Amino acid sequence: MTITAVEPAPAPPRAHPAPVRVSVARTPLPPHAPLALATELRRLLGEDQVFLFESLAGPDEDCRFAAVGAETLARITVRDGQAVLDGAPELVDRLHPLVDRAAGNVQRLLETLHGAFAVETDVPLDSYAFGFLAVLGYEAAWHLEQLPPRAPGQDPEITLTLFRHVVTYRLDTGESDQLQAHAPEFGGPGVLGDGLAGLVRALPDDAKIPLPAAPEPYAVRRTVRREEFAERVERCLEHIRAGDVYQIQIGHRVEVTTPLAPLDAYRRLRRSNPSPYMYLVPWAGRTLVGASPELLLRIEGRTLAMRPIAGTTARAADPAEDARRVAALHADEKERAEHIMLVDLCRNDVARVSVPGTLAVERMMVVEHFARVHHLVSTVSGQLADGADVFSALRATFPAGTMTGAPKVRAMELIQEIEGRPRGAYAGALGLIDVRGQAATLALCIRTAVHDPVTGSYALQASAGVVADSTADGEWRETLIKMSAVYAALTGEGLTA
């Protein structure tokens, strides 16, 4: 099936195939560590059958939720305009008419999937019960915005994966539940059946597992030299001086080839850089290993929230120096101007799907503290309008303005021209979307390494926001700060200029 990204398609025919009826049983589980469960499930089922989300450190507003998923039921992959559906045969047969009904339009595909399932459960509507592990690469934007044609890439723009089992963790109470989905189309009880509680009771104490050492990397390759990055910054400044844009997020990539396995890389990363949105996620034959600080989108019932980050300084070991850096960050006119610009972008995006009068900036330009850095963070919220749901909110807010610049579409056109290659997963988003349409948590895919098992390499990427008074050296240093934690987890070394 061919998927294109152009004008919103006309309304689809009213006839709609009957939804797949899914019952979701909720079973409380004994206390255990999400990483320990994910590690054991990866051993039992295979690395491509398990995902892990953790929330380990950072602002309380972000450290609320963790999840482990196991046993893939079905997956929709959109790559270069082609949608491929695979999974349990009976489920695929039921979903094919629903996917075909999209008639070649990704926006309609998302709308159609909202009605693909009828879920029976006691899980409240504003919490996750059953749905998709969603990974939207940066290039998914070409299906949601009017952008110039781009060259085909090897990475999928969108993957949407259903799992039979998801364990959710409420970090404020320490409680966890197994959510097990049942439907005739799922083809029996699966590999785990009802045995997850017994598996949890036998898990080892994760804290006693030694932290793996970082082997010496085989090779480290910078795809852009410092001088080339300076030329990119100057091109951005030319467009800013011409009044074409106000800000552009421009970046580069580092590739590390190492025998370090993704699970070991993740264990090292979570120890050195505990973050609110950590993940170990299979993606298109590769693995995403990440420690993202930033929420793209959270929906709980009818409330939509975004938490844009713009403004960064490294933490210092000395408390007095650390306090000085916090004060300097909060007073930095360049950082403040950039942040206000990006908050305005978020306000515009949220307003597109919110009830008039409900748009609010709940927190504005607050310095929040993370394991290795301090960031300027704001919170923008609204109440979803009638007829809006998680899928329409995603269309309105993706990609994040903090990953593009402003105005968003023109900045994206220039990023494509100046960077000259697809970003792939970087600057996209990933998380869980409940099919009932009123619960979702999606983090930005940043501070992430993409592992390719064929080459044994990890790809790291970061960008910096170029504004009128930017310097090439300053923006170069910012990208290295952003990549430093992941680089250190892979190599045991610092990332030098």
Give me the active site residues, please: 375, 402, 426, 447, 465
CB 288 within 8 A of CB 273: no
CB 465 within 8 A of CB 314: no
3-state secondary structure 91-129: HHHHHHHHHHCCCCEHHHHHHHHHCCEEEECCCCCCCCC
d(CA 495, CA 488): 7
Return the number of other C-beta atoms located less than 10 Å from residue 360's C-beta: 15
Handedness of CA 136, 108, 130, 359 (dihedral sign): positive
For residue 213, give the 3-state DSSP assignment: coil
Record the tokens describing residue 468, joined without a space: 């009128």
- Distance, CA of 360 to chain centre: 24
- Phi, psi (rounded to 5 degrees) for 55: -135, 105
d(CA 380, CA 364): 8
Torsion of CA 405, 409, 410, 415, to 10 degrees: 60
Residue 28, CA distances (Å) to 104, 163, 291, 300 in order? 42, 18, 28, 22
CB 37 within 8 A of CB 256: no
Record the tokens describing residue 226, joined without a space: 């410092």
Record the tokens describing residue 58, joined without a space: 């950072």
Residue bearing tokens 């264990």: 267
d(CA 334, CA 77): 40
CB 71 within 8 A of CB 189: no
Q: What is the CA radius of gyration of the chain?
A: 22
CB 134 within 8 A of CB 431: yes
For residue 9, give the 3-state DSSP assignment: coil
3-state secondary structure 168-205: EEECCCCEEEEEEEECHHHCCCCCCCCCHHHHHHCCCC
